[in-house]
Chain A
Amino acid sequence: MARGLAFDISHLLAGGMVLLSFALLYQDRMFSLLRIYALHALVLSLSVAWQAWVQGAPHLYVTATIALAFKAIVIPVALHRIVVRLGIHRTIETVVGVGPTILFGLGLVGLSVAVILPVTAESDALAREDLAFALSVVLLGLLMMITRRNAVSQIVGFMSLENGLVLAATGAKGMPLVVEISVAFSILIAFIVIGIVLFRIRERFDTVDIHALDSFRGERR
């Protein structure tokens, strides 16, 4: 296997994740948001599988399978059903200032590259680029969480953030399987908890707009 090709493909996949994170930022419809998230997870599992192939680490295939099964299929489908049951699939969520958000996101990518590249000067190029992209995905996920109002899209933001973490974890060589599995399970549990909370919010307030929570606490916006 040519060294150049290995680098190029993992670069392509990680870059694809960053691109999809940007796509998540400006989606204003629920179903398209979920679809792009599924795609995000799919690219992640491809990337992990590629890392498994390149590093010759078979346990990473397990991680890739987990990512594919849970993140690309189970969670999006479950979220899809939740959205339908909540009856918010027609909601058009006004995303605050797409332009500025995207620009800010670009700044974040620049920042993570500026932080990671000098720190990891000694490690090989593959891990360096991967880490920089992973940090960008994490930051973009966080950015998405704070720019969204709908609880479901906040969940999607959180999940994409977690995808970034898995990307970072698999980019580094010698990551034990048990860490990845425990991360995957904690995410699943977080998903379940958040799902339950969502229904509780809905029961109480007839909406999943988290502003309802704030006004319930009697706070100013």
Chain B
Amino acid sequence: MLTAAGAAILLLLLLGLCGPLHGRLPGSAARTDRIAYGGGMAGCFVLMSVGLAALSGAVEDDALSAALPIGLPWLGAHFRLDPLSAFFMVVVDLGGLIACIYGLGYGTHEREPGRVLGFFTPYLAGLNLVLLADDAFSFLLCWEFMSLSSWLLVLVSHRDPENRHAAYVYIVMASIGTFCLLLAFGLMAGPGGGYGFAAMRASALDPGLETVVLLLAIAGAGSKAGLVPLHAWLPLAHPAAPSHVSALMSGVMTKVAIYGFVRIVLDLLGTPAWWWGLVVLLLGGLTAAMGVLYALMQQDLKRLLAYSTVENVGLVFVGLGLALAFQAQGMVVPAALALSAGLLHVLNHSLFKSLLFFGAGAVLVATGERQLDRLGGLIHRMPRTAILFLVGCAAISALPPLNGFVSEWLIFQAILLSPQLPDWALRFVVPAVGAVLALSAALVATTFVKAYGIAFLGRPRSREAEAAHEVDRWQGAAMTGLAALCLAVGVLPALFLDLLAPVTQALTGASLDRQSGLPWLTLIPIAEARSSYNGLLLLLFIAFSTVVPALVIHRFATRATRRGAIWDCGFPQTDPATQYTSGSFAQPLRRVFGTLIFHARERVDMPLPGEVRAARFSVELRDLAWDVFYAPVARAVEFAAGRLNHLQFLTVRRYLSLVFGALVLLLLVLAIWQ
């Protein structure tokens, strides 16, 4: 089984050669595109099948682990496919497969396709390798490979200074994250150096050290996933890459980061302390609220989507935090519910976020614009994209019967079980986090009403938007597939939830009751008396309640012609600039949260009486994380570097003296320590 996976990964790595070979192979340049993306599709399909087979338990355990004699001499490289990595593998490769389909169309618009092709499939391979790694060394190596290949993809349009800055911030944060993970694994390996995951699972750590490992895992995996306040690189880097890569980074790579967190904290660390859940919950709630508030303020479509990723990662972490809290009390069934909810949201977010990024990419191809305020009226020019993007918006806004609703509903079900928790702190905090989630769910809906309304409705605000055209069939097919999957998970959640049973069984020791056998495909997570959800009935009801009135109205409404006063459709002036803009849509909420969270400054520049120039209104927003968190650190590093700069210009004897002094000092420490 792993042989097939290994072969597929090798294929993906080899396809990276298409980058340097682009345009040099016989045949047209587009042929290299087809080889790379077609091969990528095949590789992802194989890997996804392997993941599905492992998840359904069709394979014996022996076939799911392998040790290769590469890597560290006394360790080798261990790979294993357990239910957790199998589930994430399905998520990753489903996203990868569809991204490859999309790339077939999108890639032809790339200015320097070689730069994308060279790293796209190796990046997919890196994502899979992280999931398969079964020892700390391979894990970190693959993790870093994934980071570096995605960094190179961020740098594809390297001529834009903004992208270079984004890539710089990204590589710095990625290095810090890997460093934290390195320390975490080092602590878990202990002085004996048991770097295999099996050894870490078996060994028990000192509670103090466990705390340190938890914090390092939050910092390391959280920075990759985009946990506030470590998220600042994410809204810069994700939009900078080509859209299908953005979709992978947002929809898939953040999931691999979540996988890293789950692997370390729920799998390797052992029984959680009661407050672990509290920390993760608070961070998740903060991330969800801040992420969506920032998203709401964005004018750039792709950056808006990136901030919304931050929000969704917060939601997943709330689920994981609840799982930790329940787990600490030995309440395994609620823990399984919370974990299932979080993991299902992982799948869902990868689906609808990829869909939305593909939509943004389609808009980018059609108009060359990412600024919402230069779009508008695209629903007439790109009807298919508009409908599919609407499905994505509805899904991410957690509207039934789509998939976003199911996972958020399950998270709330887990939150509603919190009164059973014995700790008072948790009993207070969990409902508060629930309220924050409810608020952010509403704000998400606002955000996507804004994004959709400004970009697709109304009239075009620029000539580019006016000249937009529908995208090609590959891109359309990819988006259609994702929209269909969003609907499928929303209507048939039981099938997908049952896939998670082996994962929760392995991590929490319990799983939800089998859902797919229930009549009418109902979802009953705990007990029927508590709550149940039926996506199919809801879909039928929605379809019925919309189609029937529409038919009735069309059938029975009067066709008589009426005469009335001329109505100007709300546009007394014909200039498209009089339409609502994204800034004006967000203004009420900006006023509410503005001064506190965004340090918003509104500036009105009125011309003096007699002047003929136009008045100007400008808004200045700041990301609080930059001011509070990053700027002091950057200043401290700069200060230390300035101070240490003198060390570059010492005399030979002083260098020797430094070495000597350090040696004597260490020996002194050694002598006194004993």
Once A143-B660, A146-B656 are accepted as A-B contacts, the answer to whether A112 and B667 lie under 8 Å apart by CB is: yes
Q: List chain A residues, Cβ under 8 A from B670.
A: 115, 119
Complex CA distance for A149 and B657, rounded to whole angstroms:
13
CB <8 Å contact, A111 and B656: no
Once A118-B674, A142-B660 are accepted as A-B contacts, the answer to whether A210 and B653 lie under 8 Å apart by CB is: yes
CB <8 Å contact, B657 and A108: no
A204 interface residue, CB < 8 Å from B? no
CB <8 Å contact, A115 and B671: yes
B668 interface residue, CB < 8 Å from A? yes
A124 interface residue, CB < 8 Å from B? no
CB <8 Å contact, A139 and B649: no
CB <8 Å contact, B660 and A114: no
Give B653's nearest chain A residue, CB to CB: A146
Interface residue range, chain A:
10 to 19
Complex CA distance for A221 and B652, rounded to whole angstroms:
10
> How many A-B contacts at CB < 8 Å in the complex?
41
Complex CA distance for A219 and B664, rounded to whole angstroms:
27
A214 interface residue, CB < 8 Å from B? yes
Interface string of A2-37 (1 = CB under 8 A from B): 000000000000000000000000000000000000
Q: List chain A residues, Cβ under 8 A from B657.
A: 146
B645 interface residue, CB < 8 Å from A? no
Complex CA distance for A139 and B666, rounded to whole angstroms:
13
Once A214-B652, A219-B651 are accepted as A-B contacts, the answer to whether A111 and B664 lie under 8 Å apart by CB is: yes
B619 interface residue, CB < 8 Å from A? no
**Residues of chain B having any CB pair with chain A under 8 Å:** 649-653, 656-657, 659-660, 663-664, 667-668, 670-671, 674
Complex CA distance for A213 and B660, rounded to whole angstroms:
21
Sample of 10 more A-B contacts, CB < 8 Å, known A111-B667, A143-B660, A213-B651: A112-B667, A115-B670, A118-B671, A119-B670, A146-B657, A146-B660, A149-B653, A210-B651, A210-B652, A221-B651
Pick from A114, A139, A146 the residue with the most CB of B within 10 Å.
A146
Give A135's nearest chain B residue, CB to CB: B667
Complex CA distance for A118 and B670, rounded to whole angstroms:
10
Complex CA distance for A143 and B670, rounded to whole angstroms:
20
Q: How far is the CB of A46 from chain B (nearest CB, A)?
A: 28
Complex CA distance for A112 and B659, rounded to whole angstroms:
16
Q: List chain A residues, Cβ under 8 A from B652.
A: 210, 213-214
Q: How far is the CB of A152 from chain B (nearest CB, A)?
A: 14
Complex CA distance for A146 and B667, rounded to whole angstroms:
18
CB <8 Å contact, B656 and A142: yes
Give B672's nearest chain A residue, CB to CB: A114
* Interchain residue pairs with CB less than 8 A apart (9): A111-B667, A119-B670, A142-B656, A143-B660, A145-B660, A210-B651, A210-B652, A213-B651, A214-B651
Give B659's nearest chain A residue, CB to CB: A142
Give B671's nearest chain A residue, CB to CB: A114
Q: List chain B residues, Cβ under 8 A from A111.
A: 664, 667-668, 671
Q: List chain B residues, Cβ under 8 A from A146.
A: 653, 656-657, 660
Complex CA distance for A210 and B671, rounded to whole angstroms:
34
Q: List chain B residues, Cβ under 8 A from A112.
A: 667
Complex CA distance for A118 and B668, rounded to whole angstroms:
13
Which A residues from 150 to 178 make CB contacts under 8 A with B? none
Give B649's nearest chain A residue, CB to CB: A219
CB <8 Å contact, B664 and A139: yes
Instruction: Enumerate the 5 nearest inter-chain pairs by beta-carbon distance, A residue then B residue, closest first.
Output: A114-B671, A214-B651, A146-B656, A118-B674, A146-B657
Give A118's nearest chain B residue, CB to CB: B674
Give A145's nearest chain B residue, CB to CB: B656
Q: List chain B residues, Cβ under 8 A from A118.
A: 671, 674
Pick from A115, A210, A219 the residue with the most CB of B within 10 Å.
A115
Interface string of A205-221 (1 = CB under 8 A from B): 00000100110010101
Once A111-B668, A111-B671, A114-B671 are accepted as A-B contacts, the answer to whether A142 and B663 lie under 8 Å apart by CB is: yes
Give A107's nearest chain B residue, CB to CB: B664
Give B651's nearest chain A residue, CB to CB: A214
Q: List chain A residues, Cβ under 8 A from B663.
A: 139, 142
Q: How far is the CB of B170 from chain A (nearest CB, A)?
A: 38
Q: How far is the CB of B591 from chain A (nearest CB, A)?
A: 59
Q: List chain B residues, Cβ under 8 A from A142.
A: 656, 659-660, 663
Complex CA distance for A149 and B651, rounded to whole angstroms:
11
Complex CA distance for A142 and B653, rounded to whole angstroms:
11
Give B655's nearest chain A residue, CB to CB: A146
Q: How far is the CB of A183 from chain B (nearest CB, A)?
A: 19
Complex CA distance for A201 and B650, rounded to whole angstroms:
19
Complex CA distance for A149 and B668, rounded to whole angstroms:
27
Q: How far is the CB of B301 from chain A (nearest CB, A)?
A: 55
Q: List chain B residues, Cβ under 8 A from A214.
A: 651-652
Q: List chain A residues, Cβ under 8 A from B653.
A: 146, 149, 210
Q: How far is the CB of B563 from chain A (nearest CB, A)?
A: 94
Q: List chain B residues, Cβ under 8 A from A119.
A: 670, 674
